[in-house]
Amino acid sequence: MNIVIPMAGRGSRLRPHTLTVPKPLVPVGGKPIVERLAEDIVAMSAEPVEEIAFVIGDFGAEVEAQLLAVAERLGAKGHICYQEEPLGTAHAILCGAACLTGPVVVAFADTLFRADFTIDPTADGVLFVKQVENPNAFGVVVTDKDGAITDYVEKPSEFVSDLAMIGIYAFRDGERLKRELQRLIDENVMIGGEYQLPDALRNMTQAGARFEPGTVTHWMDCGNKVATVDTNQRILDLTADELTVPADAVVENSIILPPCHIGSGARIVNSVVGPHVSIGEGTSIEDTRVSNSLIQAHSVLKNKVVRNAMIGNHARVLGIPTDVSLGDYNEIS
């Protein structure tokens, strides 16, 4: 099985955190979003993962090396593929054509989830969905009485379904998907100046392909600051049994309320940390109360009460904001 992870966008809704780091590399629960996504797919899949295509923009050699290392740690061959123009979801997937062979999972890198990756032998694929209260804000699938998907509707103005597509797809035949995506390009089938995956899925369905909705037990969004802090909380809950304080971290006269992720070399003095806090490596926290927050690497918090915060790398917080979104290399005092 192969994986294609489109991740070329810079994540404008998560600024300022994505001004210096691509959104998929922002850590949640101590690991970059894209690394956690790939790990989860490998862990949930019944088949071994052979190759992973990361579809990126101009992120630079350092980011590319990080992504290839993620694939290597998972025992897969990594491919760096480029989407030079933002031409839509179908175009992004097609940029990862090197891995569109055999069974393939397509996973957009702004979502984390838990699901069963088993594909019914009679189905051509599974589109993972989540039942939502406000389907007019999502792309949804319509199903027949047997549970097969019959149509795909983007942000319906009237109710047709409450099964929202969450950006995770499993296909039995990657080559067939590739042909349908290429067909959109060749015939210039665009909506709003972009080639969209649902158009390819609709063509495949009308040609006889059978897709079924797959159920996720957890769906965690990383689209903006509030959603990412919430996802950090949920990831810490799901991985609580795996969390430990590293040997080189310093914890003096402080209380750690689990679940928390403490990074290597972190320093926590005269503070109460937790619950639901992720602290990056080398970060210093002193005389501070912090809860439900995500603090990245080599930052300093002192004399603060911090809640529901997302704080970047090399930031300094020396004052009293309680609900903050602070980017890399910034200071509040």
In order, the DSSP letters of 276-292 are SEEE-TT-EEES-EEES
CATH number of 239-332: 2.160.10.10
**pLDDT number for residue 222:** 79
Domain boundaries, the chain: 2-235, 239-332
Rounded Cα gap, residues 224 and 208, in angstroms: 38
Question: Which fold would CATH assign to domain 2-235?
Answer: Spore Coat Polysaccharide Biosynthesis Protein SpsA; Chain A (3.90.550)
**pLDDT number for residue 65:** 95
pTM of the predicted model as reported, rounded to 2 decimal places: 0.89
Tokens at 11, concatenated: 């994540």
For the chain, counts of helices (H) and of strands (E): 6, 27
Query: Hey, how many other C-beta atoms are within 10 angstroms of the C-beta on 225?
Result: 21
Tokens at 183, concatenated: 């067909």
DSSP states of 222-276 as a string? Answer: -SSHHHHHHHHHHHHHHTGGG----TT-EEES-EE-SSEEE-TT-EEES-EE-SS
pLDDT string in tens for the chain (333-residue length):
999 999 986 655 555 655 567 778 888 999 999 999 999 899 888 889 999 999 998 888 999 999 999 999 999 999 999 999 989 999 999 999 999 999 999 999 888 888 776 667 778 999 999 999 989 988 999 999 999 999 999 999 999 999 999 999 999 999 999 999 999 999 999 999 999 999 999 999 999 999 999 988 888 877 788 889 999 999 999 999 988 899 999 999 999 999 999 999 999 999 999 999 999 999 999 999 999 999 999 999 999 899 999 998 999 988 755 567 777 777 766
**pLDDT number for residue 177:** 97
